[in-house]
Structure formats: C-alpha cells, structure tokens
Amino acid sequence: MSDLLHLREIDEVLSGRGRGRDAFVEQSWRRCVEQYGMDPAKPSPAHIVTEARLREHREQSERLIAIARSGLEALFRQIAGQKYVLLLADAKGVTVDYFGDPKFQEELRAAGLYLGSDWSEDLAGTCGVGSCIVSKEAITIHQSDHFDLTHTPLSCTAAPIFDTGGNLTAVLDISLLRSPQPKISQSLALSLVKASVRRVEMANLMAMNRGDWVLRFSTSPEFLDVDPEAAVALDGSGRIIGMTHGAETVLARQAVGPVIGERIDRFFDLSVDSLPDLMRGRPTEERLIQLRDGQGMFGHAIAPQSERFPAALRGAVPVPGGAFQAIGGPDPKVQRIVAEAARLAPTPIAVLVTGETGTGKERLVRAMHMAQVGSRPFVTLPTAAIGEVAALAEAAAGGTLFIDGPEAMNAEAQAMLLAVVAGFDALPLRRRPRLITASAADLGAMVRAGAFRADLFFRLAAVTLTLPPLRLRQDFDWLVDRMMRQFGHLRPDSLRLSPAARAELQARFWPGNLRELANTLEVAIALAEGAVVDLPDLPPAPLAVAEEGESLAEVLAACGGNMALAARRLGVNRSTILRRARREGLLPQ
C-alpha cells in the first residue's frame, strides 16, 4: 500500500468511514490521533531506551525473564530459520529480552526489533506490543495496520502475559521484517504466541505457589497433565490466591465479581477436601469436574510441595521480593528455600542455613535480615571473636545475631555461646537478638559424634534451610547472566558470553560454588578484549574434582537431561553415565 493511501485510510477511519480493518486496529488509530496527538504524515524512527534505563527495566522484570526464557527458547526453536524474531516486552512496552538471528542484527535493530526498543503505543503508534498492552488481547498488527509509516513493512503478533493476580505484566511478541501480504499468513504465529504465553503463565503460577494447592483444568483430557489450559492456586481453605489468564476467562463466566479471594466452590461443584481425588494417580477420564454453569472440565490437582510450616506462617509473605529475588532463578529447590526463608524472616525462629562453601548462605541470611521491618542491627559473630560474645550480643539487641561457622568452636567457646544465648530468654522480646547461623559442616552429625553440644544445636537450629551446590542448580544460566550484568556494568558495550564459553562453564564441577563462579566470571570479563567473553578468557578450574556420591538423577536434572553434559560435569565418560542411569532405573535396561 502506498504511503498516500495509508494516510487517506487513516483519515477515513477517523471520519467514521472505515474499510473493515480489525476493530482493534481502527480503535488504536483513533487513540493515536485523538489521545496521543500523533500525525500519520510525520513518521518517527524506532525508539531505543538508554543502556541505563534498559538495565532498570530488565532488573524489574528479572524474575519474569527467567521464567519466560525456557518458553521463549522453545518457541524460538519452532520458528528458527523463518526470520521471525521474538521480543519479550515489560508492561511499559520496553523490550527486555530478545531472540533473533544474529545475521539480521543490524536490520532488526534499525527496525526496533531489538533489546531496549520502546513499543508503547503512545510513542510508537499502533503496533503489536503497544496495542496489545492497551487492548489486553492477543493481536496481529500486520503491515499497514501500523499507524506509523516507519513500521508498515513489519508484521507483529503479540499476546499479553498476566501475573497470578490477573495484572498484565509483560507481552510476548513474534515479528517479521518482511511477510506475505495476506494477514491470514500470521494466524499460525498467533496460535504459537498464545500457546507460549499460556505455558509461561503456568510456569509462573507453579513457581509462585509451591507451598499451595494448584488445580489445573482443561476441556479435553489428552493434554491435561502435560499442557493444561488453565490453573488456579488455592490456600488451605480453598480460596483462590493465584490464577492464569485462561482460568480467569473461564471462571469470570461463572459468577460476577473478582476471582481472586473467592472460594473454588463458587465456580466449580468441588470442595477443597476433594482435591486429593484429582491427583495424578487417578486416570484422567475419572477426574471430571463441573463448572457452575454445567460445563464439564478435566481437573488435575497438585499438592503443596512444602507442608512443613503451620498455616499461620504460610502465606505471611505471599511473594518473596526485595533481596530474596537475587538469590535464585528458575530452580524448584532454590525457590522453595527462598519462599521458606521469606516466610521465616519476620518470625523470631532460630534458623540454621547449611550448604557447601560458597553456596550463598551468608547472602540468604542477609536477605532474611533485610526483610525485617525497620532498621535493626546486623551483627556477625565470627568464631574467632568468641571471647567478645557478650558484647556482640548486646550490640545485636533487637536485630540479628549472625553466627558464622560454629563448627570451628571448641568446647569452651560452645559453652560460652550457650550461656549467652540462654541469657536471651531473660531479655524483653523487643531486645532479644534473633539468631541465624550458617554452617558448611553437618552440625547434626557433629552432635551425634559428640563434637558439638546438642543443647546449643537445638537453640541455633529450630529449622534448617539447605542451599544446594551450584552443580545441582537448574538456574545456572540465570546466575551466569546475572553475574555477567553485575560485573559487566562498567563496560561501555553490553557484554555477551560466547556459546562455547557458556558450555564450558556448564560442564565444570564448581567445588567453590557461587564464589568460584563469580571469581571466574570477574576474571574472564577483565581479560576479555571485546564485547564477547570467549573460551580463552576463562581462567582454568583450580580444583576440578569428581564426586562419586552425587545423585545421578539430580545431576541429570540440573543438566536438563543432557547425558554428555552430566558426564563432563562429573568427570566421567558418557558410557559410565549411561550404565549408572540404567542401574539406578533412570533409563530402561
């Protein structure tokens, strides 16, 4: 369509003589002129935010990016080679994650299909991301649907991602620089984007509600267990505390008013007590549940993964935020520990954090301290300073007394610490220091061996949180990307890690855990000459060891099921892994 015809059509739509474009396109054109004061005759180039603003936007969306990444990668694999690019934009329209073919990088950047491009509708006019944010619907803005002439070569299909409270939190967009003329050519893109968003929302709901019941439901039984259409999270009394957008759409048809906060029996003929009947053990066909309007659905209930805390503590901190966000990415174990730490943070319960050296124990302890209300002292009791224990306890009054490495204390020091800690009982509640202990040793085993006082152990460890070693974490890439940003922030250009370097890091054993990884990346970034940190920039692993006692199932899970990678990480060859996998029943004989 020529530019002139485009301008004429916009004019016609504004004067009420539309030619039958999609209603959401015509509505958006109206907004562009009437609300944002745009002039279609004055095109403007793509808007790219500054590096600093991009960093802010990315930091705010960090958790979402981590959760969305696997969905995005899967989608990109499906469309690879077809010149599509994928953009993840935040709720303000700024692109915070991006997958595209590096061959077209310059062209994509110029067209705004790139990291940092701002696609809010009041800036870019009618466009996939911006108009999706306004309409809250999955849409395709194809070629001359775009308001601004700069963007009319593009075809953009976008779907909104909602958080578990039902608020629009991001947009997934799949775009083409050049596309066939008929808009119908993008209908497959539309279904792909919608399906990916559904999976991202599902993953988010599961990650946010590990300690709660989750009810998944679908109209057909076939994909219920693997790719359900919708899900809600429920508290112990059957109230809905989280949902996917698909669930909101279905449930909003059953009753007027909000969905969140309502009991599940308002929407389904189902009580919370019958959830265990909908667990996986039963055949799917028998897990039929009925909506209040009579429609049948197939249900799949997932029990809370952690029932260790009393109901009063559960739900006290619904979503761990603040300093907790930096502890881990998409790893079920780490997320569970973070959620438990967040719930324990405001209580006076004495917590013991264990884990190998460098697993981030101190960082977790500090996050728990920071989550408390008001400014309170944080005092570390290094084992060497045991002589000053009374003075330190006084300094920690009303705050946190962090006991770092009690396994190094001799009998005399343990007795002294016990006396001081027992003395806390006499203090008024608000002055009583809260005890958090970190240890890389197995204190329980030391108690059994008579090397650590049982009475002191029970004072320090009302509950134990154990951080996994880095080689067993499934959020390895998330950690690497975070540290790259952290150490690379002083570099003028945005740093990247080459695929070869990443593969090498994934294959290492990491006896020094996060500390070793942080050191390795810091050195590599210092040594890298350009914007790419590559294999030769990585310092060698100082202490490569293989550990016989690792659980193969866990190592394989952390390696995404990749046997070759698991073999390298454990320092054995692939056939050994295969043999062990068969022996341990992980593979058929």
For ligand ATP, give the closer residue by CB, 242 or 360: 360
DSSP 34-54: IIT---TTS--PPPB--HHHH
Q: What residue number has its CB nearest to ligand ATP?
A: 360
For ligand ATP, give the closer residue by CB, 59 or 277: 59
For ligand ATP, give the closer residue by CB, 518 or 587: 518
| Inter-residue contact 505 to 533 (CB < 8 Å) | no
Element (H, E) at 337: helix 332-344
Q: Residue 331 CB, nearest distance to ligand ATP (Å)? A: 11
| Inter-residue contact 381 to 403 (CB < 8 Å) | yes
Using CB under 6 A, list all residues that contact ligand ATP. Answer: 326-327, 355, 357-363, 438, 440, 479, 482-483, 514-515, 518
List strand residue ranges (DSSP E) for 508-553, in order. Answer: 532-533
Paired with 548 in beta bridges are none
Q: Residue 520 CB, nearest distance to ligand ATP (Å)? A: 11
Inter-axis angle of helices 499-507 and 476-488, nearest 10: 120
User: 415, exposed or middle or buried, with CB in 10 Å at 0-12, 13-18, 19+?
Assistant: middle
Nearest-angstrom CA–CA distance, 361 and 467: 7
For ligand ATP, give the closer residue by CB, 241 or 409: 409
For ligand ATP, give the closer residue by CB, 125 or 330: 330
Q: Residue 497 CB, nearest distance to ligand ATP (Å)? A: 15
Q: Residue 404 CB, nearest distance to ligand ATP (Å)? A: 7
Which residues have CB under 8 Å from 104's CB, separation 6+? 83, 85, 177
Which bin fits 585, alpha (ψ -120 to 50), beta or left (φ > 0)? left
Encoding tokens for residue 208?
Answer: 């946010």
Nearest-angstrom CA–CA distance, 408 and 440: 11
Query: Tokens 């009063």 label which residue?
Result: 312
Q: Residue 512 CB, nearest distance to ligand ATP (Å)? A: 8
Q: Residue 440 CB, nearest distance to ligand ATP (Å)? A: 4
For ligand ATP, give the closer residue by CB, 302 or 461: 461
Q: Residue 515 CB, nearest distance to ligand ATP (Å)? A: 4
Q: Residue 363 CB, nearest distance to ligand ATP (Å)? A: 4
Q: Residue 334 CB, nearest distance to ligand ATP (Å)? A: 9
Paired with 157 in beta bridges are 140, 174
Nearest-angstrom CA–CA distance, 173 and 111: 14
For ligand ATP, give the closer residue by CB, 60 or 380: 380
Chain centre to alpha carbon of residue 132: 23
Which residues have CB under 8 Å from 575's CB, separation 6+? none
Paired with 160 in beta bridges are 171
The helix/strand/coil state of 403 is strand
Nearest-angstrom CA–CA distance, 29 and 350: 60
Q: Residue 474 CB, nearest distance to ligand ATP (Å)? A: 14
Q: Residue 528 CB, nearest distance to ligand ATP (Å)? A: 19
For ligand ATP, give the closer residue by CB, 166 or 405: 405
Q: Residue 405 CB, nearest distance to ligand ATP (Å)? A: 7
User: 57, exposed or middle or buried, with CB in 10 Å at 0-12, 13-18, 19+?
Assistant: buried
For ligand ATP, give the closer residue by CB, 125 or 468: 468
End-to-end CA distance of the chain: 63
How many helices (H) and strands (E) would you count in the chain?
A: 21, 17
Q: Residue 353 CB, nearest distance to ligand ATP (Å)? A: 8
For ligand ATP, give the closer residue by CB, 64 or 158: 64
User: 550, exposed or middle or buried, with CB in 10 Å at 0-12, 13-18, 19+?
Assistant: middle
| Inter-residue contact 155 to 186 (CB < 8 Å) | yes
The helix/strand/coil state of 230 is strand
For ligand ATP, give the closer residue by CB, 519 or 562: 519
For ligand ATP, give the closer residue by CB, 370 or 440: 440
For ligand ATP, give the closer residue by CB, 298 or 324: 324
Nearest-angstrom CA–CA distance, 183 and 140: 8
